[in-house]
Structure 1
Amino acid sequence: MDLQRTGRIFGWLFIGTFLTSIPARLLFIDGAGASWTDMRLVPGDASTASLKWGALLEFGLIVTQLGTAVVLYPIARRYSHTIALGYVSARTMESVFAAIGLISMLSLVSVISAMDGASGGEAVALQVQGDGLAHTYEWAFEWGPGLVAGIGNGLLLGYLMYTSGLVPRRLALLGLVGGSVLIVSAMLILAGVYKNGEGPSGVLTLPEAAWELSLGIYCAAKGFRYSSAAVTQAHDREPLPAA
């Protein structure tokens, strides 16, 4: 297996998570007629088209997330089988939360359609149902990209990249810092200290976002490094499988 080629594939998949996740989030907020800090259904401002496009992009996110884990695992397990499995598990859990959010927002399409012509108690019930689906998406978002990503993409992937030397160690340190900060922010959000999207959350998310974007760009451009001592040791212990 060519380390540089595999690294480039990994990098482009990581970039793909950015190209799908951010637009999907914006489309879901727009589709519900909500705001970044108050995810609920506002029927007059809702857009089923935005929700459907958001769902397609969210599915693309799931594919690219799992793709990063699948591509990295054969190489990562030669440095730490436990960390490699942990990363695959974290990516899988993150994708599960994304799928929960995706189905919730698609179900919101049906609620919005049913609200046309509804009145009285039926309209109230549909509004409650719509708010519940929007809140389910928001909870899934806070647990997936908010908490699990900090563990998987931040701590586990940062540690793996630091110890293996597949990317520069100064870059990998950003993952360890970013993951730690993101986990703290997620815990504060879940504890109700502040809402997702408010000032502190945006600032505390930046190190993790910078790490993931930098990692994707670096790997897409250069691939994984051959020159690290860890790579040499991995070749000595067990040759990488043929492509």
Structure 2
Amino acid sequence: MTIRKTSARVVGALFVTATAAGVVSAVLLGPGDQASTPASAGALMVLIMAVAIAMIPPVLFPILKEHNEALALGYVVARTLEVVLVLPATVGPLMSLSGAPDDIVRIVTGTYDVWGHPGSMVFFCLGAAILNVLLFRSGLVPRWISGWALIAVLPYLADAGLVMFGALAPFSAIHSVLVIPLALNEMVLAGWLLTRGFAVTTAGAGYKRR
């Protein structure tokens, strides 16, 4: 197995891990008692998600920089900022477990819900856009996958803005409708990387079947 194919499989596995942990954390950290066992487990899931997200750019960077190093660096920065904004989701439950006053816990969790969560979504969208522009231009994966992502990122970004400014609840049905297309695309990309890997390309070349 080549290093390139191994990298593709690692990235695919990390995408699946991050998404699975994110879904579980959203369920466990829904409205409820921040000192509860589910909330604490949800905080752990957020940590797992953040670690998986943080590992994706270093694995992808050597491959992406062959096609555009500036955009590859931009992807690293966007996903790093996403992780920074996601990590505070672990703080509220941990503060509750440590016996912090409820008023302080509510302020921390409320601030994260209003700004941290949608802010991380914005940088997730920026990272997804950069990654899929690179994938589309390079042909590392079939262009229908990256093209789908570039379209799906728009409702996801709209959702982040609506949540940030209080026009939409983060656990509403509309929220799910807006984010599912990009989330599904990421799982399709992960499945492709796990089973087929990256195409062998040169700068400006399209996807080639192997």
Q: What TM-score comes out, normalization by structure 1 length?
A: 0.76
Alignment of 1:1-243 (within 5 A): 2-29=3-30, 32-33=32-33, 46-47=35-36, 49-111=37-99, 126-138=101-113, 139-144=115-120, 146-153=121-128, 155-226=129-200, 228-230=201-203
With CA pairs under 8 Å and 6+ residues apart, which has the higher RCO, 1 or 2? 1
Residues 209, 179 of structure 1: CA spacing in aligned structure 2 closer, same or farther, 3 A cutoff?
A: same
Structure 1 regions of 5+ residues with no counterpart? Answer: 34-40, 115-125, 234-243
Instruction: Judge conservation of contact 2:92–2:105 (CA < 8 Å) in 1.
Output: no
Cα distance per residue 1:220-242 (max 9 Å; x no partner) = 1211112x454869xxxxxxxxx
What CA distance in whole angstroms lies between the structure 2 residues aligned with 1:198 and 1:54?
Answer: 19
2:40 is aligned with what amino acid?
K
Q: How many residues align?
A: 204
Compute the RMSD of aligned alpha carbons.
2.1
Instruction: Judge conservation of contact 1:189–1:195 (CA < 8 Å) in 2.
Output: yes
1:23 is aligned with what amino acid?
V
What CA distance in whole angstroms lies between the structure 2 residues aligned with 1:105 and 1:93?
Answer: 22
Cα distance per residue 1:66-111 (max 9 Å; x no partner) = 1111100011111111110111011101110111221233113234
Q: What TM-score comes out, normalization by structure 2 length?
A: 0.87
Residues 232, 205 of structure 1: CA spacing in aligned structure 2 closer, same or farther, 3 A cutoff?
A: closer
C-alpha deviation, 1:186, in angstroms:
1.2
What CA distance in whole angstroms lies between the structure 1 residues aligned with 2:96 and 2:108?
Answer: 6
Instruction: Determine which structure has more spread, i.e. the larger CA radius of gyration.
Output: 1
What CA distance in whole angstroms lies between the structure 1 residues aligned with 2:76 and 2:190?
Answer: 17
Structure 1 runs of 4+ aligned residues shifted over 4 Å read none
Residues 16, 82 of structure 1: CA spacing in aligned structure 2 closer, same or farther, 3 A cutoff?
A: same
